[in-house]
Amino acid sequence: MNRWLTPALVAGFALCLSLSTPVRADRGQPATIKVPAYIAKALADPARAKDQANDDRRRPGPILAFAGVKPGDTVIELVPGGGYWTRILSQIVGPKGHVYTVTPSEFLKVFPTAADKSKALAADPHYANVTALVQPAAGMKLPHRADLVFTAENVHDYNNASFGSLPPKALATEIRGLLKSGGIFLVNDHVAPKGSGLSDTDTLHRIDPAIVKKQVTEAGFTFVGASDVLRNPKDPHDIKVFDPSIRGHTDQFVYKFRKP
């Protein structure tokens, strides 16, 4: 155990997170979910001290508890970016698990350094269970089938040319081949106006939750449920997610799908 994490500290942190987790005032109705001790321990890892300032906004505890990720799991994280979620997932799955981060090769044509942070993180001995990959969006291949495929705020991007032009059904079909039977596909993304379908994925960087649910289930997944932990009724849905008035506080859906 890290010298900063005494058993009492870990237990206390786990207890706090296992109680009600109220959503911020701009996040709609309160949500309650039990966060397991192994997730609490991962969140308390001193190596992610800089990330912790964003935990209240991004709610990793409730989201990953909802996903059901646990020690020993194999996880695929799509579009890992700066590694916020990778660092948590690595510590949750532990030495008997593994995290594969996948950056679409198409994206590197637009942003050549998009995978650099993931590669640097994977080279850090603290994250020895992380492998950073760059692969075509429509040609992902991994050595092991996964228990969980996780993506945060990026399903809309896959519909765009810079990510391979894969609408949710095509992306889910790819992902289905990467998961074990019973494996989970956890989707978190920005909400677009109701009925807008895929029309705002490139302009506003949003996607209609209804089209995601429809197309992912058409790809053969079972819809398990949704978490409201990132919902924000004050978001007008018709402005770009990078607009200063809403950035960091967009209305977001969290959907859980299972491969039969």
Q: Report pLDDT for 31.
A: 54
Note the residue count of the chain.
260
Q: Cα–Cα distance between 246 and 248 in angstroms, integer? A: 6
Which tens digits make up the pLDDT trace of 56-96?
Answer: 999 999 999 999 999 999 999 999 999 999 999 999 999 99
Q: Report whether pLDDT(8) > 70.
A: no
Mean pLDDT of the chain: 89
Give me the residue label for tokens 């890992």. Answer: 80
Q: Confidence class of residue 18 from pLDDT cuts 50, 70 and 90?
A: very low
Q: Which amino acid is at 160?
A: N
Q: Report whether pLDDT(11) > 60.
A: no
Number of alpha carbons in the 13 Å side-chain half-sphere of residue 123 = 6
The predicted model gives 4-27 an average pLDDT of 37
Q: Report whether pLDDT(231) > 70.
A: yes
Q: Report whether pLDDT(28) > 60.
A: no
Which tens digits make up the pLDDT trace of 143-163?
Answer: 889 999 999 999 999 999 999
Q: Confidence class of residue 191 from pLDDT cuts 50, 70 and 90?
A: very high
Q: Report whether pLDDT(24) > 50.
A: no
Q: Cα–Cα distance between 142 and 181 in angstroms, integer? A: 16
Structural domains of the chain in order of their starting residue, each with its CATH number: 54-258 (3.40.50.150)
Concatenate the DSSP letters of all residues of 56-100 into one string: HHH-HHHHHHHHT--TT-EEEEES-TTSHHHHHHHHHH-TTSEEE
What is the reported pTM? 0.87
